[in-house]
Amino acid sequence: MSARTVLHEADISRALTRIAHEILESNRGAENLVLLGIPTRGVTLAHRLAAAIGEIAQTTVPVGALDVTLFRDDLASQPTRSPRPTAIPAGGIDGRTVVLVDDVLFSGRSIRAALDALQSIGRPAAVRLAILVDRGHRELPIRPDFVGKNIPSSRQERVNVRLAEDDGTEEVTIEA
């Protein structure tokens, strides 16, 4: 398999800084903001975004993790996944703006599952979606609010996000 790198470490960092500014602008500040990452790399990205927002706005933004495994509609056709812990920050999500954070948006099924999972936890005032890579090919009417990079790809290609905290390296590649 041949892989080509489409985002390097500096590109990922710039994209996250831009997304942090866009989230603050859209929300008119960091008040009532909660970031929930979808495991695994979405959680890492949520923590990075919270750090960037905190640096820009001089505040702390609560971060959590939202496991969507048991809410997926493709459990029967997918290999068995181990559920990861869901960690909702103190103060919960009720009445707050929740930004779901994930690494790659493809069919939209993970985000649909995340919306179902959120509904079982509480009632946010608004839900936004921040994605590092949007590769297209949506099967559901889901569109991200904040995108690091749109990367057109074929259905046969695989987009790999590797982050230093999880993988020891920092890049986004496409494999044929």
Query: How many Å apart are CA 110 and CA 121, to the nearest integer?
Result: 17
pLDDT (tens digit per residue) in 85-133: 899 999 999 999 999 999 999 999 999 999 999 999 999 999 999 999 9
Query: 33 forms bridges with which residues in the sheet?
Result: 97
d(C-alpha 57, C-alpha 21), whole Å: 9
What pLDDT does 74 receive?
65
Whether 69 shows a pLDDT value over 90: the answer reads no
pLDDT of 50 > 70? The answer is yes
Q: For the chain, which residues make up each domain, given as ranges? A: 9-69+93-156
Model confidence at 77: pLDDT above 80: no
DSSP 87: B
State yes or no: pLDDT of 76 exceeds 70: no
Smallest Cα–Cα separation from 66: which of 46, 51, 96, 90?
46
pLDDT on residue 140: 93
How far, in Å, CA of 166 to CA of 65, rounded?
15
Residue 79 has pLDDT above 70, yes or no: no
Predicted model pTM: 0.94
Helix (H, G, I), strand (E, B) or coil at 174: strand
pLDDT the model gives residue 166: 96
CATH of 9-69+93-156, one of 3.30.43.10, 3.90.320.10, 3.40.50.150, 3.40.50.2020: 3.40.50.2020
Q: Residue 80's pLDDT is what?
A: 61
